[in-house]
Each structure stands twice: as C-alpha cells, then as structure tokens.
Amino acid sequence: MTTVEPATERQPQSAAAPSPFPPIAEYAFLSNCHTGALVAPDGAIDWLCVPRFDSPSVFGSLLDREAGFFRLAPFGINHPTAVVYQPGTNVLETTWKTPNGWIVVRDALTMSPREHEDTVTPHTRPPADDDADHMLIRTVECLEGEVEVELVCEPAFDYGRAPAEWTLIGDDRRAADATGAGATIRLHTDLSLGIEENRIRARHVLKAGDRAYCSLSWDESLASPQNVEEADSRVAATTRFWRAWLGRARIPDHRFRDPVQRSALTIKGLTYMPTGATVAALTTSLPETPGGERNWDYRYTWIRDTTFTLQALHMLNLDWEADEFMQFVADVEATEDGSLQIMYGIDGRRDLTESTRDEMTGYAGASPVRVGNGAFDQRQNDVFGAALDSILLHTRRSERLPRRLWPIVQTQAECATKVWREPDQGIWEARGKPQHYVSSKLMCWVALDRAAKLAEIRGDGEAQEKWAAVADEIREDILANGVDDRGVLVQHYGSDALDASTLLAAIFGFLPSDDARLKASVLAIAEELTDDGFVLRYKTDETDDGLSGKEGTFLICSFWLVSALAIIGELQMARDLMERLLRVASPLGLYAEEFDAETGRHLGNFPQAFSHLALMEAAGRIILPEMTAQLCDGVLWHHRASGSCCWSAATGCRASRRTGSRRTSSSTTATSPRTPGTTRKGNRSSRRSIISSAAPRSSTARRSTVFGKRTSAS
C-alpha cells in the first residue's frame, strides 16, 4: 500500500540561501549621470542599460545569469583582495592577488569636459561643463609578478532577448562591434580579440609594470580610446570631475562625514543630467521578499522624493543640482484634474505602463521581472505635500518664488483641498483596497500649510487665509480619527495598526516636538514596529497591500526614526540607531531599499536613493545639535556676562543651561519643520558672534554654515 505524505507548506526562502547570484550589497555602483552599472565582486559588469538609466539592459546577469555580462579579471580567480572607490569618486579600484602576482583593475563610466552637443541623450537643462562620454573604460595594471588576465564580453540586448552578433573591426583584432535589438556598441582594447559565437574573449599575461585597457562605447560615433594612455587620461578626468563636484559640497568635519559624502556621490550618480531628474534606484526587480513577487521597477522619478532630495542638496550647499531638479518638476505635465502624478519617466513622460519579462528567471528566482511601474496612475494624496514642501524649501533657499512655480502651488493646493477627505493607496502604493491613510492626510496638511506660507511670501492674503483654514481642518480631522486610545498615530482610520510613514509627522512639523502624541507615536514605532531594532514599513499580516510574503525592514524608515527620535529630544537613542544603520551599509557604503535583520542581507533595488537621502537627513539631525553645542561651549566665556547663547532654544545647548538663557517655545519646530536649529529671532548680537563667518543675511533668511544650510527666521 502506498503511503501518501501530507502536503507541506512551502517555507519562505532565506535571503542568505545558496545562489549563483552575488549578495545585493556586494555590488559596486558606477555612474556617468546618464546611466549606471553594477560591478559584481568577481569583476563582472552584471547590470548596464544604455544609453539611459531606463533603457533596456545590455548586461542583465543581475536578473538572469544568461542575460549578459562583461568581465575583466585574472583568469580562474573569482575573489578579489580589495574593492574600494577612489576617495571622493564613483571610480572603482579592485585589487587581485593571484598565485603569481598582483594586479589592480580600475572601472569608470567616464566623464570629461563637454566638447559638442550630446545627441545620444539630448539635454533639456543647460549642459554642464563636464558631460558623459557614453563609454565604460576598464584598465588593468600589473603591480608585481605576472598575471594572466581574461576579458570576456557577452552582451544580451533587450533584457537578454537578443544575443549579440559580433563583427571584428579592422584587421588587428583590437576592436569589434556587437549588434542586437537595433543597437550597436563597440569594444576596443589593446588585447587580441576572438569571437566565440555571442561573446568575445581575450587573454594576455601581464608582467610587473605592464598595463592594458578595454572600453565599451555607445557614443553616436562609437568613439573609443586608441591606447592605454588615452584610457588612463579619461579615467583621470572622471576622477577630477567627481572630486571637483564633491568639493563644492559643504560637509562638516564630523564622524558621519564619510557616509554623508558617499550618499551625496550616490545621489549625484542617480541623477539624469539631461533633465535634472533623479531615479529612485538604478535597478528593476531586485526583490523585497527573497524569491517572492514584491519586485518593482525603480528607474523613474517619484514626486514624493522631491522634498527629501532638495533638503539634502540644499543642506550640502549643492544649489545647482537642487535647482535642476526643481525645474524638472516644473516641466512635467499634470494630469487632467491638475494634480501631479506620483511618478514620471526621467524624460518627464507620464505613461509608465508595466509589463513583465517572463523569460527571465529574476534575481535568485524572484519573479516576475518588471519593466515600467503599474503604480504610475494610482491616487496617492501625499504627492501634493511633497511638491509644495519642496517649492517652499526652494523658495526660502533661493529667496524668490519663480513665476512658473506659482501655478503649481495653486493647482496642488486646490487638488489637496478637494481630495483630502477621500481614501487612497497611500505612500507605500498598496495594491489593496483604498484606505484613509493617516500619512496621506498628513501630507495634505503639509500641502495646505506650505501653500499658505508661499501665499504669504507672495503677498496673497486671501489665499493664505483660505489654505491655512483648510490645513487647520485637516489637522483636527487627523487628531480626531487617526490617533488610538494610547495617543499614537495609526496607519489608517479605523485601525490600530502602526505605520512607519507616520514618522513624517515629526519630520514635517505636524506636531510640536514636545507634544505627548508625537512622542508616543515615535516611541511606539521604535518598540513595536521593528525587527531587531530596524523599522518595518508596516506589519504585512495587518495590512492589505494586495501582495503575499513577508518583507524586510525598510532602511528609509529606520533613518526616519533616527530623525524623529532626535526631534523629540531622544538624541542618544537617535545616535545609537544611527550607528547601527551605518554598520549595516554595504562594504562600499551603499544601501538597498530594505535590510533583512535575520540574515544581514540587503533586499530590494540598489542603490536606493530614498535610503541615502534619509541617511543625510538623519545625519543632519544629529550633527547640527552636536556641533552647535560644541560652538556654544567654545564661546561660553563670551556669554557669561550677558547670559545668552546661540540657538540655545532649538538645541538645548549646555551654555544656555549654565547661563540661564530663556528657551524658545517648541512650537517653533512646527513653524519651520525642515530646518533643524531654527529659532526665533532672539538675541541677534550673540548669534552673530558665533557665526560671524556666515554669508550676509537678508530680510527673509539667515545662513548657518554648520551644515551648509540656510535656515529661515520664524
């Protein structure tokens, strides 16, 4: 008699399960501000889309091991000795030890001084002095002994659908063209090439002091360096570009300096220079659930990212990039009712219809692989607040409200007024039933609050009064229906579930920093919505998001918690969590979207702009009070007689406690929520003595040079 075994439920796949796919966090990121590449730890380019971030992939082994790769490394060796960025750049250096010698490989998506109009990816913004070469360059140098180096280039165009057809160019075996899906790229090298069906290969023994190179070009003329000296020169120009750009940023001398710098370089690297847009991440379909279906295409621009992007760029004094992004937002086309979509293509297009590439296996079996994003036409009411907060932030920084932005203020304020009472899909783009999400209504409050402030700046008293009244109505509604019996903000009306997006109540100044409900909400998330101390978006078993499977902790939410803890005065808790988050960065200081606390693996698309933006925000929340306290201690003897001190109200400065200075009311936080360290006018003479090196003040704003910020007077 045959025994029938009972069916067993399929166990969730571990993020650390054995797999031919490298861990997400072990990839390195390259960029030329038009597209980006991911370099695997074995030296292979596993992801590259040309000529733009959202183009079909040429190398797609990230999502299917047969979808193309490009490797330059020692033959038979897969594990390098060291992988680092050249300091202050997105240029990669990989050092290899072999049984017979040492080599170093340098990789760059090169950039150089602009010499002609870019016809490959035309600019709508004014072109910068430096621009992309539309070229990947890889150089190798033998440091000691002798090493056999192998080059293998196997493109598979259109997400692996079209294997390359190779043709040698000339008779010296130094160049070859690969064609597929209507595209052509050129490989040029000083090694001898041989075609092996859909791939091309070269092998050569390098001795101490020998150098070699290869380049891949998709420039209109397929221009390529003709020798290793020219290749080295282009890599050096790229190094100069990144260091010169970073040199314009104002980053304080603090223990968080390096992660802030790496985050800034990553955000710049995710910026599409021709339009000023920033992609949410380099990749599509890296899974949020190992082996699951939570796989999305993030190669687009989310309007909700605008306020965080502008805050980070202005914080670092990178006003040009901030203005470019703001102009992109001003250029995009609104929907039929005047509202902005939640996301746009990097060229401003509205239609991001989603499709799947079912022939691809997906990363470690996680399918489907998606191209496009089906959430582009969702109703998400938080978009209005993100847009108007960014306009207010930009207006205060630039000290002017451009004429072309005022119509956006009007339309978004009116749209928020019309829809704030309606349910939506929420900030997390849930594919379940629409709900009255608290964070969506909170962001509608932000929209009307910021619109009222902008109307005041413009001198429109009628609009200011109207929009401020609606903001007050929304606030009252949230506090009446979105707070549980413990005084904690909940996920949506009628629910007791927690949601990390309510941390935005602290970041956007919805409640004063000493409000009991705000403090209870932040601490409840810290205690009840975490996995090993890292924050979940929500509990998937309590939320109808239309999907199956558990997801990892969201890194942006954990960084939001750092900011929120600092805002409510729990600065040591904020520091502790920040230190933990910095320890889980990738070996190169990068972050994906999620972190699996159980296995220590990164999950989701990579590198993720939102995670790095939130890191910079959180760092600023800690750095500013720490450095302000140091400044106050350093000049304490100047103030003992007068009994006053700089910014004492906002930071709880030790000098103010010793001298008995009056603290400013905590309601100041609600008046200017995005600028830590802002106080009322107070004692101007004492503040001037602290920041005497600051730039000249205007009647509308004062500068603080602690973090390259301009903080507005309340």
Least confident span in 332-341, 613-622, 694-703? 694-703
**Dist. CA 401–CA 450, nearest whole Å:** 13
**Dist. CA 232–CA 215, nearest whole Å:** 11
**Dist. CA 650–CA 325, nearest whole Å:** 30
564 pLDDT exceeds 50?
yes
**Dist. CA 540–CA 194, nearest whole Å:** 52
pLDDT value at position 700?
Answer: 33
pLDDT value at position 12?
Answer: 67
**Dist. CA 467–CA 478, nearest whole Å:** 17
- The side-by-side arrangement of strands in the sheet containing 553-554 is 553-554, 594-596, 601-603
Question: DSSP per residue over 185-209, as a string?
Answer: EEEEESSPPEEETTEEEEEEEEETT
**Pure H helices in 568-639:** 571-583, 609-634, 636-639
Residue 687 CB contacts under 8 Å (≥ 6 apart), including other chains: 646, 647
Total Cβ atoms within 10 A of residue 17: 12
CATH of domain 26-247: 2.70.98.10
**Dist. CA 482–CA 421, nearest whole Å:** 13
Q: Select from 707, 714, 628, 711 the least CA-distant residue to 260.
A: 707
Q: Tens of pLDDT along 129-176?
A: 999 999 999 999 999 999 999 999 999 999 999 999 999 999 999 999
Q: Tens of pLDDT along 428-457?
A: 877 678 899 999 999 999 999 999 999 999
Q: Which residue has the tokens 């104002």?
A: 250
pLDDT value at position 144?
Answer: 98
What number is the average pLDDT over the span 230-237? 98
pLDDT value at position 455?
Answer: 97
Q: Which residue has the higher pLDDT, 562 or 549?
A: 562
For a pLDDT cut of 70, what percent of the chain falls above it?
86
**Dist. CA 611–CA 582, nearest whole Å:** 12
Q: Tens of pLDDT along 109-123?
A: 999 998 888 999 999
Helices and strands, number each (H, E), in the chain: 19, 30
pLDDT value at position 433?
Answer: 83
| Cis peptide bond upstream of 625, omega within 30 | no
**Dist. CA 286–CA 711, nearest whole Å:** 38
What number is the average pLDDT over the span 187-199? 97
What number is the average pLDDT over the span 598-612? 95
What number is the average pLDDT over the span 371-383? 88
Least confident span in 319-323, 536-540, 543-547, 572-576? 543-547
688 pLDDT exceeds 90?
no
- Location of each CATH 1.50.10.10 domain in the chain: 304-341+379-623
Q: How would residue 615 be classed by pLDDT, with cut points 50, 70 and 90?
A: very high
Which residues is 103 bridged to in the sheet? 96, 142
Q: Tens of pLDDT along 99-112?
A: 999 999 999 999 99
Q: Tens of pLDDT along 493-534?
A: 999 999 999 999 999 999 999 999 999 999 999 999 999 999
CA atoms within 13 A on the CB side of 496: 4
Q: How would residue 549 be classed by pLDDT, with cut points 50, 70 and 90?
A: low
What number is the average pLDDT over the span 468-476? 98
641 pLDDT exceeds 50?
no
426 pLDDT exceeds 90?
no
Total Cβ atoms within 10 A of residue 371: 19
CATH class for the region spanning 304-341+379-623:
mainly alpha
Average pLDDT, the chain: 87
What number is the average pLDDT over the span 65-73? 97
pLDDT value at position 294?
Answer: 85
Convert 113-148 into a string of H (helix), E (strand) and C (coil): ECCCCCCCCCCCCCCCCEEEEEEEEEEEEEEEEEEE
- Location of each CATH 2.70.98.10 domain in the chain: 26-247
Q: How would residue 659 be classed by pLDDT, with cut points 50, 70 and 90?
A: very low
What number is the average pLDDT over the span 702-713? 38
